[in-house]
């Protein structure tokens, strides 16, 4: 018997239809995966089930949970359902957690709101829940604050808050999107274990088809607010009926066609040699000796002109510190960084010519733009690095040309960043990096938050630009499947060191270091029988 049955669910906001005729079922001990691109209605379906829709929303249809129609339930009744019977895990744990409260207090708050227990019993349940999500209180005391934990640990705390009262249904909205592959594998394993041990039902929302294929028992594919295909995971992948589902599968394994065609120059562009970066640790007592944490430990590598080099590793391995050092934003305690023959030293005057040769594209394009500036003004910012800065009309022309190169329109220069989708924002970020024709672009998790189809388009665009402009890329990512399809050479980083380096295909097919092998083993892939479908 189904725990949750959604029948003919329809949602409109301000008269505009958002969801149409949604039919879903999920039973105890099973995982329902909802997959689709951004804007397909995945999250809105979850919010409708939880009755957390924005003002001005209209909902119709049935949401039968234990034979009770939640669509007709009062807000008072829903307050009893949320947290106790249905838990929810949101995509970004740092925004789901209160930075001013300890993790123990936040888990205990859920317990005390929904059950009449005292502080001692709430603390006992909190400690037990932390153990259930594999955060033993002996190592992760409930007195810690969210900022003291890693991304994966924070997500476990959010899961702990959702399952503290052992709900019958858990809804997880993109719970692993921003996590590295090993942490992602651990969290997915944790969710599956909770489903099995608690006989809980799980709705897992993701844009990653491989994650869904390896986790879900049943799948619903959504597009434009409609479920276009649904059924068991095996049946969906072996007998795909809808062209959209087929396109998602192809996009998830997309390999840019032009990648292997490039011929590399022998001349090195970026040379990093014996780089060291130490952070001073605070003293525990006034007269204690000063201690240091080594984030980058004697790292050496080169990038040739026109080469795509991948840098992978778990969170905390030193990737971001290394990137900031290359950009001249981080002081180093040893080694050298040279770009096209000119040495880069933090907090020193870098020549405009050197600055022009290196640009960066960040993971969050919305956060890297000033929302008060037009797209044209934002894209034109790097032109200030030119020794002979063009006049206003020349700047406008350059902005319009570069926007058209990345697949946008010249008229988009007058719009603001909030008017674009995630994929379009990333194209604008790439346009800003391209406008002064750099020799090296650092891509810091530039496609990790994008849908598989948008990701495929961005990767094709990057390869095309590299071929036409002879651009080299340092491609930093936790998504090894993307790294394998995009890069020619791979650097594997662990605890501040490069533990393995080589041609990407060789490293993936014959990894030499156990850590590299563990990363590759953790990558979710569509099972072979599914992938063989044309």
pLDDT at 303: 94
pLDDT at 261: 44
Tell me the two tokens of residue 523.
């990558």
Give the three-class secondary structure for 278: strand
- In 3D space, the residue among 503, 525, 522, 524 whose CA is nearest the CA of residue 514 turns out to be 522
Full set of structural domains in the chain with CATH: 2-252 (3.40.50.300), 267-357+438-505 (3.40.50.300), 367-437 (no CATH)
Residues of the chain with confidence (pLDDT) below 70: 1, 178, 257-266, 449, 527-534
Annotate 367-435 with three-state secondary structure: CCCCCCCEHHHHHCHHHHHCCCCCCHHHHHHHHHHHHHHCCCCHHHHHCEHHHCCHHHHHHHHHHHHHC
Print burial letters for 77-99: b (CB count within 10 Å at least 16), e (below 16). eeeebbbbbbbbbbbbbeebbee
> Between β-strands 86-89 and 169-173, what pairing exists: parallel, antiparallel or unpaired?
parallel
- 196: Cβ–Cβ under 8 A, 6 or more apart, which residues? 29
Q: Is the pTM of this model over 0.85?
A: no
Q: Rounded to 5 degrees, what are φ and ψ at 220?
A: -125, 125
pLDDT at 257: 63
CB atoms within 10 A of CB 390: 13
Q: Rounded to 5 degrees, what are φ and ψ at 82?
A: -65, 130
CB atoms within 10 A of CB 190: 18
* Distance from C-alpha of 462 to C-alpha of 484, rounded to nearest angstrom: 15
* Distance from C-alpha of 204 to C-alpha of 140, rounded to nearest angstrom: 26
Could you write out the DSSP letters of every residue in 169-207?
EEEEESTTTTS-HHHHHHHHHHHHHHHHHHT-EEEEEES
pLDDT at 178: 66
Residue with tokens 């990894």: 511
């Amino acid at each position: 018997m189904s725990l949750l049955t959604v029948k003919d669910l329809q949602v409109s906001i301000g008269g505009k239809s958002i969801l149409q005729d949604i039919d879903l079922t999920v039973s105890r001990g099973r995982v329902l995966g909802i997959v689709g691109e951004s804007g397909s209605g995945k999250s809105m379906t979850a919010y409708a089930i939880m009755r957390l829709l924005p003002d001005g929303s209209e909902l119709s249809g049935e949401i039968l949970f234990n034979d009770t129609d939640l669509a007709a339930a009062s807000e008072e009744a829903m307050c009893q359902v949320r947290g106790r019977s249905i838990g929810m895990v949101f995509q970004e744990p740092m925004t789901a957690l209160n930075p001013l409260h300890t993790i123990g207090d936040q888990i205990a708050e859920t317990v005390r709101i929904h059950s009449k227990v005292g502080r001692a019993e709430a603390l006992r349940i909190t400690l037990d829940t932390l153990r259930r999500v594999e955060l033993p209180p002996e190592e992760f005391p409930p007195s810690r604050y969210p900022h003291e934990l890693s991304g994966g640990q924070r997500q476990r705390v959010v899961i702990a808050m959702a399952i503290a009262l052992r709900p019958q249904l858990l809804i997880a909205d993109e719970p692993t999107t921003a996590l590295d592959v090993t942490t992602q594998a651990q969290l997915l394993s944790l969710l599956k274990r909770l489903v099995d041990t608690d006989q809980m039902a799980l709705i897992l929302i993701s844009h990653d088809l491989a994650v869904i294929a390896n986790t879900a028992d049943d799948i619903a594919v959504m597009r434009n607010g409609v479920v276009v295909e649904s059924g068991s995971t095996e049946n969906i992948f072996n007998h795909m009926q809808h062209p959209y589902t087929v396109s998602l599968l192809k996009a998830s394994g997309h390999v840019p066609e032009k990648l292997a065609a490039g011929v590399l120059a022998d001349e090195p562009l970026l040379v990093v040699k014996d780089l060291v970066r130490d952070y001073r640790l605070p003293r525990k007592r006034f007269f204690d000796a000063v201690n240091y944490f080594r984030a980058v430990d004697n790292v050496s590598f080169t990038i040739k002109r026109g080469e795509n080099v991948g840098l992978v590793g778990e969170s905390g391995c030193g990737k971001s510190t290394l990137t900031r050092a290359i950009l001249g934003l981080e002081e180093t305690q040893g080694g050298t960084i040279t770009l096209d023959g000119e040495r880069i030293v933090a907090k020193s005057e870098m020549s405009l010519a050197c600055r022009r040769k290196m640009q960066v594209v960040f993971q969050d394009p919305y956060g890297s733009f000033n929302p008060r500036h037009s797209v044209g003004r934002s894209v034109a910012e790097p032109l200030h690095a030119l020794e002979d800065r063009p006049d206003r009309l020349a700047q406008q022309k350059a902005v319009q040309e570069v926007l058209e190169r990345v697949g946008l329109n010249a008229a988009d220069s007058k719009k603001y960043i909030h008017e674009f989708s995630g994929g379009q924002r990333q194209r604008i970020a790439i346009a800003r990096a391209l406008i002064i024709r750099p020799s090296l672009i650092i891509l810091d998790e530039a496609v990790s938050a994008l849908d598989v189809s948008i990701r495929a388009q961005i990767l094709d665009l990057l390869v095309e630009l590299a071929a036409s402009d002879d651009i080299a890329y340092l491609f930093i990512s936790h998504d090894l499947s993307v790294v394998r399809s995009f890069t020619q050479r791979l650097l594997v980083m662990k605890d501040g060191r490069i533990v393995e380096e080589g041609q990407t295909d060789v490293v993936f097919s014959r990894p030499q270091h156990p850590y590299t092998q563990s990363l590759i083993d953790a990558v979710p892939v569509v099972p072979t029988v599914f992938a063989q479908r044309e």
